[in-house]
Amino acid sequence: MDIKSAWYLIVQERIHRVVSQEQWSKLEPGSFELHQVFDTQRDALQELSRLVKVSVEEVREEVNRVAASKPGQTR
């Protein structure tokens, strides 16, 4: 992996972001949490997309569970 062209998936202020090496180098230490490092922007964005889909599915399941527990509620 060429560190100069690396892409970083980070969490900053509870939001996942993909940043380039240049952006990464300008971040304040402690202002983010590193999730993963990727060789390409595409790989980083694919992982970000996967994480969003997982989160959406978790919320959908929770909404369905709550709705099912209320009498008279339908989907």
SS3 75: coil
Residue carrying the six token digits 């599915």: 57
12/5 Cα distance (integer angstroms)? 21
**Planar angle of CA 59, 42, 20, nearest 5 degrees:** 95
Mean pLDDT of the chain: 92
Against a cut of 0.95, is the pTM above it?
A: no
pLDDT in tens, 47-74: 999 999 999 999 999 999 999 998 765 5
Nearest by Cα to 19 from 1, 55, 33: 33
CA 29 to chain centre: 19
